[in-house]
Amino acid sequence: QVQLVQSGGGLVQAGGSLRLSCVASGRTFMYAMGWFRQAPGKEREFVAAISRSGGVLYYADSVKGRFTVSRDNAKNTVYLQMNSLKPQDTAVYYCAGRSNVVVGTKPNEYNYWGQGTQVTVSS
The answer to whether residue 1 scores a pLDDT higher than 90 is no
SS (H, E, C) the chain: CCEEEEECCEEEECCCCEEEEEEEECCCCCCEEEEEEECCCCCCEEEEEECCCCCCEEECCCCCCCEEEEEEHHHCEEEEEECCCCHHHCEEEEEEEECCCCCCCCHHHCCEECCCEEEEEEC
In the predicted model, what is the mean pLDDT of the chain?
Answer: 94
Lowest mean pLDDT, pick from 9-13, 27-31, 94-98, 111-115: 27-31
pLDDT for 101: 80
| pLDDT above 70: residue 7 | yes
Q: 30: pLDDT confidence band, cut at 50, 70 and 90?
A: low
